[in-house]
């Protein structure tokens, strides 16, 4: 499958707002080929922030204070191990200071990490990894309903029973965090669906055409229904908040890449936002820093949906508690849910539409389905409850194990809630 990830050490770096670092490499900066590592230090500020205009203290973009001890250790490590600091960021939710170092000579990443692992002040040291979106190319087939002119080409919606599901729920009241490339929020089929966009990459796209993958995923989840335009999203009343952590590699291609640093910033921001449903249509190597952030979020009740990939322990679906999605044509992960993901019509930037395939598509569709369940629930629906509903109502005799039954899951949720209300009234 095109787009399934390989891990490489990133020779580019994206620095988000508030780092206070200048001169960092831009995405695609070929003048900066050196390998880089991610190193973290304990960060426990002893003082509360002072009044505006005060000096002698360091802050991240969200006002989180950087301890002088962490700052000093970062400088000491750079000097002792002959590394060049290129970016830094205190991560509030993990109480750590995260630093990106460049290896200025020919030492291998493994050799540098081996040295750093012996330093008692270093909490974590890992490569600056690279992550990619997962999409395959084109085609089409039909079905019927709605006044959206391209609905008949959306073969996935009848297969999932979305028209019947929309009689029960359409995602109203659910906020979804989309961690991806940027999204063309001016697309007519996303009008009113994108409520906020935050970027964690330095070089902003000069045109919406650079937001192909994110726009495609947003359309699958929440394209507006019955607006006489284009297509229908699986959860057309859900609200999307875009956390831009990836950037497109080439024009006219969905291929995009993110790295440890940009994803960490996006994950932390999504966690701080209070959103309880996160779509990550990406995959890459195991990453301790990112896994820590996902684990913290899961413990706080956040539901994550990721794109299944090889190997089975790839980020993010290799993390316990992350719900994995895959297409029905090929099984990549034993416990992943199977969803139609071959030649699925969705959005392109600048008001366009095209077909998309791959586990990226499956993850976005599953996110939309979960948004329907969450909007139909009387109470906050946990990840375990979502998984139970989907597993207990799996389609019998479906083309792939784990094929979901959206209408069945909604009906079971309604029945369970009814029984709960009856029991509570006795």
Residues 6+ apart with CB under 8 A from 267: 179, 278, 290, 293, 294, 297
Token look-up 């974590």 returns 124
Contact 97, 41 (CB under 8 A): yes
The CA-atom distances, in angstroms, between 375 and each of 82, 220, 266, 390 are 53, 17, 24, 15
Contact 67, 99 (CB under 8 A): no
Helix/strand/coil for 240: strand
Contact 67, 45 (CB under 8 A): yes
Residues 376, 253: Cα–Cα separation, whole Å: 36
> Residue 398's pLDDT is what?
67
pLDDT tens for the chain, residues 1 to 426: 333 323 322 222 222 333 333 333 333 333 446 899 999 999 987 555 444 444 344 544 555 678 888 999 999 999 999 999 999 999 999 999 999 999 999 999 999 999 999 999 999 999 999 998 888 765 544 445 799 999 999 999 999 999 999 999 999 999 999 999 999 999 999 999 999 999 999 877 678 899 999 999 999 999 999 999 999 999 999 999 999 999 999 888 899 999 999 999 999 999 999 999 999 999 999 999 999 999 999 999 999 999 999 998 899 999 999 999 999 887 888 899 999 999 999 999 999 999 999 999 999 999 999 999 999 999 999 999 999 999 999 986 666 767 899 999 999 999 999 888 888 887
Please report, in angstroms and rounded to a whole number, the separation of the first and last CA atoms in the chain.
Answer: 54
> Residue 138's pLDDT is what?
57
Helix (H) or strand (E) holding 116: helix 109-116
With CA atoms as reference, report the closest residue to 113 among 128, 104, 105, 125: 125
**For 71-118, how does the pLDDT look when each residue is reduced to its tens digit (9 = 90+)?**
999 999 999 999 999 999 999 999 999 999 999 999 999 999 999 999
Domains of the chain (ranges; CATH) run 36-127 (3.30.70), 133-419 (3.40.50.200)
DSSP string computed for 17-34: TT----SPPPTT-TT---
pTM: 0.81
> Residue 46's pLDDT is what?
59
> Residue 6's pLDDT is what?
30
Helix/strand/coil for 406: helix
């Amino acid at each position: 499958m095109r787009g399934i990830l390989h891990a490489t050490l990133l020779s580019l770096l994206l620095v988000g707002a508030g780092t206070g670092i200048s001169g960092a490499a831009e995405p695609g900066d070929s003048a900066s080929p050196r390998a880089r590592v991610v190193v973290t230090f304990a960060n426990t500020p002893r003082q509360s922030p002072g009044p505006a205009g005060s000096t002698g203290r360091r802050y991240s973009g969200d006002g989180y204070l950087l301890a002088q001890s962490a700052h000093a250790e970062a400088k000491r490590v750079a000097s002792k191990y002959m590394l060049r600091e290129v970016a830094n960021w205190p991560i509030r939710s993990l109480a750590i200071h995260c630093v990106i170092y460049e290896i200025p000579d020919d030492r291998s990443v493994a050799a540098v990490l081996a040295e750093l692992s012996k330093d008692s002040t270093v909490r974590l040291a890992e490569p600056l990894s690279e992550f990619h979106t997962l999409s395959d190319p084109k085609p089409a087939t039909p079905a019927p309903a709605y006044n959206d002119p391209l609905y008949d080409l959306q073969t996935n919606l009848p297969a999932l029973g979305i028209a019947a599901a929309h009689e029960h729920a359409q995602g109203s009241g659910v906020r979804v965090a989309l961690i991806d490339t940027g999204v063309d929020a001016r697309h007519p089929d996303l009008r009113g669906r994108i409520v906020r966009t935050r970027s964690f990459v330095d070089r902003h796209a000069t045109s919406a055409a650079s937001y192909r993958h994110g726009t495609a995923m947003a359309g699958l989840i929440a394209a507006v229904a019955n607006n006489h335009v284009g297509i229908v999203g699986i959860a057309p009343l859900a609200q999307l908040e875009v956390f831009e952590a990836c950037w497109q590699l080439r024009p006219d291609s969905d291929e995009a890449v993110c790295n440890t640093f940009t994803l960490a910033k996006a994950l932390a921001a999504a966690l701080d936002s209070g959103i309880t449903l996160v779509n990550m249509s990406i995959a890459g190597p195991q990453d301790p820093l990112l896994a820590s952030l996902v684990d913290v979020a899961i413990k706080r009740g956040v539901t994550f949906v990721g794109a299944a990939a090889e190997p089975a322990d790839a980020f993010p679906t290799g993390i316990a508690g992350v719900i994995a999605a895959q297409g029905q044509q090929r099984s990549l992960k034993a416990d992943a849910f199977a969803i139609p993901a071959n030649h699925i019509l969705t959005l392109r930037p600048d008001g366009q539409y095209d077909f998309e395939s791959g586990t990226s598509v499956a993850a976005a569709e599953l996110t939309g389905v979960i948004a329907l369940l969450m909007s139909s629930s009387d109470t906050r629906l946990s990840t375990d409850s979502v998984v139970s509903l989907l597993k207990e109502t799996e389609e019998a005799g479906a083309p792939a194990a784990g094929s979901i039954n959206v209408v069945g899951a909604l009906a079971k949720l309604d029945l369970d809630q009814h029984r709960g209300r009856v029991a509570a009234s006795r």
